[in-house]
């Protein structure tokens, strides 16, 4: 088990997280966006999922041995 294996594992998880967050974000019901705590929480959760996945992907792409 070397670093490349863990890097590929983390990259696949990050890609999955990013794709899941982005797809949920684009299928989000923008018309019924009211200011209840539940909707606000799910909305920020989608953004955080998307950006965490993207940040991990950028970190992995710029990774140097």
pLDDT top residue among 24 and 17: 17
**pLDDT exceeds cutoff 70 at 54:** yes
For the residues 48-62, what does the mean pLDDT come to?
77
Residue 53 near residue 18, CB atoms below 8 Å? yes
**pLDDT exceeds cutoff 70 at 50:** yes
What pLDDT score was predicted for residue 19? 75
What pLDDT score was predicted for residue 43? 66
DSSP state at residue 62:
T
DSSP state at residue 10:
H
Distance CA 60, CA 12 (A): 10
For the residues 44-58, what does the mean pLDDT come to?
75
- What H or E segment, with its residue span, contains residue 58? helix 37-61
């Amino acid at each position: 088990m070397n670093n490349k294996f863990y890097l590929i594992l983390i990259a696949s998880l990050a890609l999955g997280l990013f794709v899941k967050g982005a797809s949920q974000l684009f299928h989000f019901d923008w018309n019924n966006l009211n200011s209840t705590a539940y909707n606000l929480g799910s909305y920020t959760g989608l953004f955080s999922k998307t950006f965490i996945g993207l940040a991990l992907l950028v970190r992995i792409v710029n990774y140097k041995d």
